[in-house]
Amino acid sequence: MIRVTGPHSVARKEQKQLEVRFRVRPLVSQMKYSIKAHPTKYAGVQFRSRLEARWAAFFDLAAWKWDYEPIDFEGWSPDFRVEFPCKHSECRPSHVLFVEVKPYYSIEEFRGHPCLDYPYGGIAEVDGEFTFLIPADASAAFGATPEITYWCMGHGCGGGVEEILNWVDDTTMKWRQAGNIVQWHVR
Protein backbone atom coordinates (compact mmCIF):
# COMPACT_ATOMS: atom_id res chain seq x y z
CA MET A 1 0.00 0.00 0.00
CA ILE A 2 1.29 3.46 -0.92
CA ARG A 3 0.00 6.37 1.14
CA VAL A 4 1.29 9.90 0.47
CA THR A 5 1.92 11.84 3.65
CA GLY A 6 3.83 14.90 4.69
CA PRO A 7 6.76 15.19 7.11
CA HIS A 8 4.56 17.05 9.61
CA SER A 9 0.91 17.95 10.18
CA VAL A 10 1.00 21.04 7.94
CA ALA A 11 2.25 18.88 5.07
CA ARG A 12 -0.54 16.35 5.61
CA LYS A 13 -3.16 19.11 5.62
CA GLU A 14 -1.77 20.65 2.41
CA GLN A 15 -1.55 17.20 0.79
CA LYS A 16 -5.25 16.63 1.55
CA GLN A 17 -6.07 20.06 0.09
CA LEU A 18 -4.11 19.16 -3.06
CA GLU A 19 -5.84 15.79 -3.33
CA VAL A 20 -9.25 17.45 -3.15
CA ARG A 21 -8.31 20.42 -5.33
CA PHE A 22 -6.61 18.49 -8.14
CA ARG A 23 -8.46 15.16 -8.08
CA VAL A 24 -9.79 15.19 -11.68
CA ARG A 25 -7.20 14.67 -14.41
CA PRO A 26 -8.08 16.34 -17.73
CA LEU A 27 -7.72 14.42 -20.97
CA VAL A 28 -4.81 15.55 -23.12
CA SER A 29 -7.27 16.50 -25.87
CA GLN A 30 -8.90 18.94 -23.43
CA MET A 31 -5.68 20.87 -22.82
CA LYS A 32 -5.78 24.09 -24.82
CA TYR A 33 -2.85 26.47 -25.02
CA SER A 34 -3.36 30.10 -25.90
CA ILE A 35 0.30 30.61 -26.82
CA LYS A 36 1.80 28.93 -29.89
CA ALA A 37 5.10 27.17 -29.18
CA HIS A 38 8.08 28.61 -31.05
CA PRO A 39 11.16 26.38 -30.80
CA THR A 40 13.95 28.56 -29.42
CA LYS A 41 17.67 28.02 -28.88
CA TYR A 42 19.25 29.43 -25.72
CA ALA A 43 22.58 28.64 -24.05
CA GLY A 44 23.27 25.95 -26.65
CA VAL A 45 20.01 24.11 -25.86
CA GLN A 46 17.11 23.73 -28.29
CA PHE A 47 13.90 24.31 -26.33
CA ARG A 48 10.48 23.23 -27.54
CA SER A 49 9.07 26.70 -26.80
CA ARG A 50 10.20 30.25 -26.28
CA LEU A 51 8.53 30.13 -22.86
CA GLU A 52 10.80 27.28 -21.77
CA ALA A 53 13.83 29.19 -23.10
CA ARG A 54 12.68 32.30 -21.24
CA TRP A 55 12.44 30.34 -18.00
CA ALA A 56 15.99 29.02 -18.58
CA ALA A 57 17.25 32.58 -19.09
CA PHE A 58 15.36 33.65 -15.96
CA PHE A 59 16.98 30.84 -13.97
CA ASP A 60 20.40 32.02 -15.17
CA LEU A 61 19.62 35.61 -14.15
CA ALA A 62 18.47 34.36 -10.75
CA ALA A 63 21.67 32.26 -10.41
CA TRP A 64 19.67 29.00 -10.27
CA LYS A 65 21.26 25.90 -11.77
CA TRP A 66 19.08 24.13 -14.33
CA ASP A 67 18.97 21.05 -16.56
CA TYR A 68 16.50 20.75 -19.43
CA GLU A 69 14.36 17.59 -19.73
CA PRO A 70 16.53 15.83 -17.14
CA ILE A 71 14.54 12.68 -16.33
CA ASP A 72 11.50 10.59 -17.25
CA PHE A 73 9.12 9.58 -14.48
CA GLU A 74 6.24 7.20 -15.01
CA GLY A 75 3.63 9.40 -16.68
CA TRP A 76 5.67 12.62 -16.63
CA SER A 77 8.87 14.11 -18.05
CA PRO A 78 9.58 17.42 -16.28
CA ASP A 79 10.85 20.31 -18.37
CA PHE A 80 13.51 21.32 -15.84
CA ARG A 81 15.44 20.26 -12.80
CA VAL A 82 16.37 23.44 -10.95
CA GLU A 83 18.59 23.92 -7.93
CA PHE A 84 18.51 27.15 -5.98
CA PRO A 85 20.33 28.39 -2.88
CA CYS A 86 18.85 28.42 0.61
CA LYS A 87 20.38 30.34 3.49
CA HIS A 88 18.07 28.98 6.18
CA SER A 89 20.09 27.49 9.05
CA GLU A 90 17.89 24.37 9.24
CA CYS A 91 18.09 23.54 5.51
CA ARG A 92 20.63 22.09 3.16
CA PRO A 93 22.53 24.77 1.20
CA SER A 94 20.15 24.36 -1.75
CA HIS A 95 16.73 23.06 -2.77
CA VAL A 96 15.85 21.04 -5.88
CA LEU A 97 12.63 21.12 -7.90
CA PHE A 98 11.37 19.28 -10.95
CA VAL A 99 9.47 21.90 -12.94
CA GLU A 100 6.75 21.70 -15.58
CA VAL A 101 6.36 24.80 -17.78
CA LYS A 102 3.05 25.49 -19.50
CA PRO A 103 1.65 28.68 -21.08
CA TYR A 104 -0.99 28.96 -18.36
CA TYR A 105 -2.20 32.12 -16.67
CA SER A 106 -3.45 30.47 -13.47
CA ILE A 107 -2.32 27.59 -11.30
CA GLU A 108 -5.81 26.11 -11.63
CA GLU A 109 -5.02 25.31 -15.28
CA PHE A 110 -2.46 22.77 -14.02
CA ARG A 111 -5.26 20.77 -12.36
CA GLY A 112 -4.67 17.05 -12.89
CA HIS A 113 -1.11 17.45 -14.19
CA PRO A 114 1.49 15.10 -12.66
CA CYS A 115 3.68 18.08 -11.74
CA LEU A 116 1.35 18.57 -8.75
CA ASP A 117 1.64 14.94 -7.63
CA TYR A 118 4.93 15.26 -5.68
CA PRO A 119 4.66 17.89 -2.95
CA TYR A 120 7.50 17.57 -0.42
CA GLY A 121 9.30 15.24 -2.83
CA GLY A 122 6.33 12.89 -2.92
CA ILE A 123 6.89 11.41 0.52
CA ALA A 124 5.15 8.06 0.60
CA GLU A 125 4.80 5.22 3.05
CA VAL A 126 5.71 1.98 1.30
CA ASP A 127 5.43 -1.21 3.37
CA GLY A 128 5.70 0.76 6.61
CA GLU A 129 8.72 2.84 5.59
CA PHE A 130 8.81 6.43 4.33
CA THR A 131 10.51 7.18 1.05
CA PHE A 132 10.71 10.00 -1.49
CA LEU A 133 9.11 9.24 -4.84
CA ILE A 134 11.32 11.74 -6.72
CA PRO A 135 14.93 12.84 -6.12
CA ALA A 136 13.96 16.43 -5.29
CA ASP A 137 12.38 18.59 -2.60
CA ALA A 138 9.21 18.93 -4.69
CA SER A 139 7.66 19.06 -8.13
CA ALA A 140 6.48 22.45 -9.37
CA ALA A 141 4.16 24.17 -11.83
CA PHE A 142 5.52 27.25 -13.64
CA GLY A 143 3.16 29.16 -15.91
CA ALA A 144 3.42 32.04 -18.36
CA THR A 145 4.91 34.49 -15.81
CA PRO A 146 6.72 34.36 -12.45
CA GLU A 147 3.42 35.20 -10.75
CA ILE A 148 2.11 31.80 -11.92
CA THR A 149 4.37 29.43 -9.97
CA TYR A 150 3.53 26.85 -7.33
CA TRP A 151 5.19 24.12 -5.29
CA CYS A 152 5.06 22.63 -1.76
CA MET A 153 8.30 21.79 0.03
CA GLY A 154 9.82 21.54 3.45
CA HIS A 155 11.80 24.60 4.45
CA GLY A 156 13.52 25.11 7.78
CA CYS A 157 11.43 23.54 10.53
CA GLY A 158 8.26 23.95 8.47
CA GLY A 159 7.46 24.52 4.84
CA GLY A 160 4.41 24.79 2.70
CA VAL A 161 3.23 26.43 -0.48
CA GLU A 162 5.94 28.38 -2.27
CA GLU A 163 6.23 30.58 -5.34
CA ILE A 164 9.18 32.05 -7.14
CA LEU A 165 8.42 35.55 -5.82
CA ASN A 166 9.50 34.28 -2.37
CA TRP A 167 12.90 33.15 -3.65
CA VAL A 168 14.07 35.61 -6.34
CA ASP A 169 14.54 39.36 -5.90
CA ASP A 170 13.56 41.73 -8.71
CA THR A 171 11.49 39.07 -10.49
CA THR A 172 9.80 41.58 -12.82
CA MET A 173 13.12 43.02 -14.01
CA LYS A 174 14.69 39.57 -14.42
CA TRP A 175 11.63 38.28 -16.31
CA ARG A 176 11.81 41.24 -18.73
CA GLN A 177 15.53 40.68 -19.22
CA ALA A 178 14.94 36.97 -19.87
CA GLY A 179 12.33 37.90 -22.49
CA ASN A 180 14.78 40.23 -24.22
CA ILE A 181 17.48 37.56 -24.22
CA VAL A 182 15.34 34.91 -25.96
CA GLN A 183 13.25 37.11 -28.25
CA TRP A 184 13.37 36.42 -31.95
CA HIS A 185 16.04 38.40 -33.80
CA VAL A 186 16.34 38.98 -37.55
CA ARG A 187 19.59 37.46 -38.79
Higher pLDDT among residues 63 and 154, named by residue: 63
Is 29 a domain residue?
no
For residue 31, tell me if it sits in a domain: no
User: What pLDDT sits at residue 86?
Assistant: 82
Indicate whether 16 belongs to any domain: yes
Percent of the chain topping pLDDT 70: 76
| pLDDT, tens digit, 9 for 90 and up, residues 90-121 | 767 789 999 999 999 999 999 999 999 999 88
Q: Tell me whether residue 32 is in a domain.
A: no
Does some domain include residue 30?
A: no
In terms of residues, how long is the chain? 187
**For strand 65-68 and strand 80-85, is the pairing parallel, antiparallel, or unpaired?**
antiparallel
> H helices of the chain, where?
9-21, 50-61, 171-182
Domain-located, residue 187: no
> Does residue 31 carry a pLDDT above 90?
no
Domain extent, residue 168, equals 2-22+37-182
Cα→Cα distances 57→61, 72, 148, 162, 178, Å:
6, 23, 17, 21, 5
The β-bridge relationship of strands 138-142 and 149-155 is antiparallel
